[in-house]
Chain A
Amino acid sequence: MISRTITKRITGRRLAAGVCGLLAALSVGLSPTPAAAGEPAAQSAPKVELTLDVSGSMRTRDIDGQSRMSAAKQAFNDVLDAVPEGVQLGIRTLGANYPGEDRQVGCKDTRQLYPVGPINRTEAKTAVATLVPTGWTPIGPALQAAAKDLQGGDGQRRIVLITDGEDTCAPLDPCQVARDIAAQGIHLTVDTLGLLPDAKTRSQLSCIAEATGGTYTSVQHRGQLRDRVHQLVNRTAHPVRTPVATQGAQQCAGAPQLKPGLYGDREKFAEHRWYRVDVKPGQELRASVSVAADRAVNNDYGVLLRASTVHGREIVRGSESGDGRTDAISTGLRYAKPPAGSSDAAKDAAETVCLQVSNSFSAPASVKTDPGMPVELAVDLVDGPHNASDPASFGLGRGWWLLGALVLAGLVGGLLWGWISRWRVTVWRTN
């Protein structure tokens, strides 16, 4: 008897443990996994290059009573003290060395003051302290050189350009230079800070920022300069999903085959591009696209994303239009392919869906159309949805009308039932 009880207890415990294990397994299986596929993979270190104008005009004393140069130096010292871990930082100057009048020479005057890499604060600060306002303002060449400094790796790159005047080295348009650099697909952003709020500087610097998806700030105070540079350097430290470069085709046949992920491309005005995605039965395709307005465009614009079969039948589309100032216009679509029959061949037969991205941007004749505008295309494939069989959740009812109808139906049913049983009793009695 005792042994039987013990065995029973043991089996009971084992059962309990088993049930618990099952529950635990279920909860682990159902809980969201921390490492999802969408997380940015381990990337190379983000890089920033601070590009400082050291032209003669930086001597002007109009930033809180100090010279522009000393305000910039002070800001650099504060920022260098607080560079976030893992960010590689470099410093480049423009117009620091050649004091002469020769435009040819002055326009090549840009130098890397401190190489991009893990920062040694003392060395970097000493290098900054030696700077004396000297020469010309070759912004275009400095941007080109800075982009070269940041080469290597596939992390985020950022140029922080601090200047007090417009580029003095025409015909090389720094705005076009910035757009060309961005078109290389190296995830490079140029943020500009202007120390002089005049119209020409502002339009040139905001154009550079716009061309690369960066920001423009007009600096009037020392604290503002320091905070902004600090903010921009910190921004670089955040991990970001970077798009993979691809090139869409003019038609669906021969278009690149895309797997789930984030893609980058370029599209000219009124151009369209095609991509292909394989969707298996029971899967849902999610695609979103944004086209960035990286230059001056006309006021009304739009974007169309269309999913069609290889034979050209449109399945679903997403479209959006807008007007006025914008950084990008975006839209998206979902396409759930119904589950196939039971045969294995049908289950694995993927359908090729053609995605067409077209835009209706336009620009004044003076605006260059080449390279095209940046396109970002996100493709996701998930399990298909559980489609609704009824508008209401599980076909359940709700509200006073429902209650009234049910009570009425119940009452009528009860009355009938009672009447029938009474009639049956009477019939039985009489017989």
Chain B
Amino acid sequence: MRSVRRLTTTIAAALVACAGLAGAAGTAAAASPSPSASAGAGADTAPTEAGTSFRTATPIRMDQRATAGASTGDYLYWVLPVDAGARATVKAKVTLPPPSARHGATTWQLDVYDGLRRRQACRYGAQTKSAAKDAASVELSCSLRTVRGWAEQWANDPLPGSYYIRLTVVDLSQEDLGQPVHAEVEASASDAGGAQAVDGKLSAPLVPGATSATPKPSGSAAAQQPAASDAPDGGWSSGWWSDRWIWTAVGGVLAALAGIGGYRLTRGSGRPAYLPPGA
């Protein structure tokens, strides 16, 4: 008993001390202009530029409205982290130049690629849309398949990691090339829930450059984690939690209760009450 109490006091003391330390570390991080802190501050304001290739793609976050000024014909790239279990939808809006300056209809397209630069299918959404000559803007969207925690290496199922968004014009009259346009993109995601929770896990999300500098056969997972700015808010999920635990546990409890009920039904109430004790 005494040892148990001692253990609890120790743990409590450890927790209190840790909380103090963590608090101190937190204030230190906030005070010092570390790279991660500045990245965090930058993440609050939505980007106003877009990249022009996979390498130069501008990082964005979920539910952030990124904008960019561009010329008709530019290929605009953004990149955002999508975690396992997410059903992401990417929406884009292109504000076209005034109709007086245009010469014909233009067709715009939104493509989504995963961290391995594989094109990802859209479940639904207008991925390609034509804008009439007098249209003021065109809106595109793409709803991705549910991101799975693991897939066979021969599949191209969406896996947790970076997702590239490419927005461009695919058909236009040549006179319209190079005219200024304004583009906006926004991505949102809903949780697919435990029904989509699969077994297995990638050791590192599909983020380009996730390699450790000196790869080891049993290298530490920490060294291979990509930079914090590539991860979603709150980091990548560890992948072990799903509501399947609750379902299974509740099922077990119900089974136990049903078992007790069944037992009492057939076993009867035990020794008949009219028998005198010791008979």
Interface, chain A (partner B; CB < 8 A): 8, 12-13, 15-17, 19-20, 23-24, 29-39, 194, 197, 199, 202-203, 205-206, 213-218, 220, 224, 227-228, 231, 234-235, 238, 240-241, 243, 260-262, 280-284, 286-290, 316, 318, 320, 324-328, 330-336, 339, 347-348, 376, 378-399, 402-403, 406-419, 421-422
Contact = CB atoms under 8 A, between A and B. Distances in A.
Contacts of A231: 49, 69
20 contacts: A24-B18, A34-B34, A206-B177, A215-B71, A216-B73, A288-B115, A318-B118, A318-B156, A327-B168, A330-B113, A332-B115, A378-B209, A394-B240, A399-B247, A402-B251, A409-B255, A411-B259, A414-B262, A418-B265, A421-B267
A26 to B, nearest CB: 10
Interface string B142-173: 00000001100110100000000000111100
B199 A382 contact: no
Given A216-B178, A324-B170, A398-B247, A288 B6 contact: no
Contacts of A333: 116, 153
Given A393-B240, A397-B248, 4 more contacts: A24-B18, A30-B221, A387-B150, A417-B267
Given A17-B17, A382-B203, A325 B170 contact: yes
Contacts of A34: 34-36, 227-228
Interface string B234-257: 010001101111011011101111
A286 B16 CA distance: 43
Contact of B21 (A20, A289, A334): A20
Contacts of B56: 235, 238, 240
Contacts of B261: 411, 414
B10 A15 contact: yes
Nearest to B218: A282
B266 interface: yes
Interface in B182-239: 194-195, 197-204, 206-213, 215, 217-228, 231, 235, 239
Interface of B: 6, 9-11, 13-14, 17-18, 21, 34-36, 49, 52-56, 69-71, 73-75, 101, 113-119, 149-150, 153-154, 156, 168-171, 174-175, 177-180, 194-195, 197-204, 206-213, 215, 217-228, 231, 235, 239-240, 242-245, 247-248, 250-252, 254-268
B257 A410 contact: yes
Given A206-B178, A330-B54, A386-B201, A411 B262 contact: yes
A17 B170 CA distance: 63
B83 to A, nearest CB: 14
Contacts of B170: 324-326
B177 A216 contact: yes
A275 to B, nearest CB: 16
A36 B210 contact: yes
A324 B265 CA distance: 73
Nearest to B2: A8
B244 A376 contact: no
A17 B10 CA distance: 9
A270 B213 CA distance: 34
A214 B226 CA distance: 29
B247 A228 contact: no
A169 B116 CA distance: 44
A12 B6 contact: yes
B198 to A, nearest CB: 6
A390 B199 contact: yes
A406 B217 contact: no
Nearest to A206: B177
B179 A422 contact: no
- Which 9 residue pairs across A and B have the least CB separation, nearest first? A38-B209, A414-B262, A332-B116, A388-B200, A410-B255, A218-B178, A418-B266, A418-B267, A414-B259
B101 A220 contact: yes
Contacts of B255: 406-407, 409-410
Contacts of B171: 324-325
A316 to B, nearest CB: 6
A271 B62 CA distance: 40
A316 B154 contact: yes
Contacts of A29: 220, 222
A421 B210 CA distance: 62
B244 A397 contact: yes
Name the residue among B171, B212, B219, B242 with the largest chain A CB count within 10 angstroms.
B212
Given A16-B10, A36-B226, A396-B247, A334 B203 contact: no
B209 A385 contact: no
Given A17-B17, A410-B258, A376 B54 contact: yes
A202 B178 contact: yes
A32 B204 CA distance: 11
A370 B227 CA distance: 39
B195 to A, nearest CB: 6
A96 B189 CA distance: 55
A19 B7 CA distance: 11
A33 B223 contact: yes
Nearest to A19: B14
Contact of A397 (B52, B199, B247, B256): B247
A194 B259 CA distance: 82
Given A385-B203, A417-B259, A290 B117 contact: yes
A280 B215 CA distance: 9
A378 B208 contact: yes
A38 B227 contact: yes
Contact of B225 (A32, A378, A399): A32
A213 B201 contact: no
